[in-house]
Chain A
Amino acid sequence: MRPRKTFAALGAAAAIGACGAYALPATGSEDGGTRLSAPIKAADGSELGTVTVRQEGGSARVEIRGQGMPPGFHGLHVHAVGKCEGPGFTSSGPHLGDGAHPGHTGDLPVLYVKAHGEARAVTYTDRFSVADLADADGSTLIVHAMPDNYANIPERYAPDGPDMATRMAGDSGARIACAALR
Chain B
Amino acid sequence: MRHRRSIAALGAAAVAGLGLMQLVPTTGAATGQAAANKEARGVIRGADGKVLGAITLEQDGKVVKVDIRARGLPNGFHGLHLHAIGSCKRPDFMSAGGHVGPNTHSQHPGDLPSLLVNSNGRARLAFESDHFSIRGIKDADSSALIIHAGTDNFANIPPRYAPAGPDATTLATGDSGGRIACAVIR
Contacts and interface: CB of A to CB of B under 8 A. Distances in A.
Bound together? yes
A111 B118 contact: no
Contacts of A127: 118
B22 interface: no
Nearest to A59: B118
A152 interface: yes
B118 A147 contact: no
Given A73-B106, A148-B156, A150-B77, A112 B151 contact: no
Chain A: interface residue count, which band?
35 or more
Q: Main SS of chain A's interface residues?
A: loop
A61 to B, nearest CB: 8
B130 A120 contact: no
Interface residues of B, number: 41
B97 interface: no
Interface string B129-154: 11100000000000000000011111
A72 B108 CA distance: 11
B113 A112 contact: yes
Interface stretch (A26-34, A35-43, A86-94, A102-110): A102-110
A151 B161 CA distance: 12
B161 A158 contact: yes
Nearest to B130: A114
B126 A122 contact: yes
B18 interface: no
Given A102-B76, A120-B127, A157 B161 contact: yes
A153 interface: yes
Contacts of A103: 76
A17 interface: no
A156 B115 CA distance: 25
Nearest to B69: A124
Interface in A112-138: 112, 114-116, 118-127
A36 to B, nearest CB: 19
B158 A73 contact: no
A45 interface: no
Given A114-B63, A157-B162, A149 B125 contact: no
Of the listed residues A114, A147, A156, A170, the one surrounded by the most CB atoms of chain B closer than 10 A to its CB is A147
Contact of B125 (A109, A115, A154): A109
Nearest to B118: A126
Interface in B1-43: none
A170 to B, nearest CB: 8
Contacts of A20: none
B151 A119 contact: no
Contact of A157 (B113, B114, B157): B157
A171 interface: yes
A115 B151 contact: no
A72 B107 CA distance: 8
Interface of B: 63, 76-77, 106-107, 111-116, 118-120, 122-131, 150-158, 160-162, 167, 170, 174-176
